Amino acid sequence: MSPKVRIRMIVNGSARQVTVPPMKRLLDVLREDCGLTGSKEGCGEGECGACTVLLRGEPVNACLVPAIHADGARVVTVEGLARRGRLGDLQRAFVERGAAQCGMCTPGMLVTAAALLEGTKGRVPADDEVRRALAGTLCRCTGYQKIVDAVRAAAAGRVAPRRARAAAKGAKRTAAPSRRRKPRP
């Protein structure tokens, strides 16, 4: 039985300390020891990207990273993209643009896209740049265009604020013609 080590890290802005076997996967530490189940295990081999988290600001496949490598590091999971319990702009763009399907790849897509947007602040990345950044995260449900569109919309700030969306929905409801069926003779 391997000895356990104490690992200290900052996860989504909060100091965390866990005592685990040093070769336990970061993915398992986050899910089992930290209770952060947003990162998914798709393949367990680093091929699908569903488990992607940011480690020291860089996207990594958490299924391949021994937990000991996170000692003293900042880790961001998909849960860390939300602000004060509300979806961030990138997350809202995914919802608004229909970029999330079954949800298996979504955490990895979001975290990877967040890293891309952090590195391209002040400009909207081109379609091919977004596709290259997301190439390590596989989606089996849909084409990637809605995902690319959502990332670019978030970069451009074209994500409707909550109040504006709610008002627009209300206006559509009041302006919509009546769909009542006429009684049959």
Selection from 22, 27, 24 nearest residue 61 by Cα: 27
> Using an 8 Å Cβ cutoff, are 29 and 20 in contact?
yes
Residue 14, SS3 per DSSP: strand
What pTM does this model have? 0.84
Q: What is the pLDDT along the chain (185 residues), one digit of tens a residue?
A: 679 999 999 999 999 999 999 899 999 999 999 999 999 999 999 999 999 999 999 999 999 999 999 999 999 999 999 988 899 999 999 999 999 989 999 999 999 999 999 999 889 999 999 999 999 999 988 779 999 999 999 999 976 665 545 544 554 444 444 444 444 55
- CA gyration radius, the chain: 20
* Domains (range + CATH), the chain: 5-81 (3.10.20.30), 89-159 (1.10.150.120)
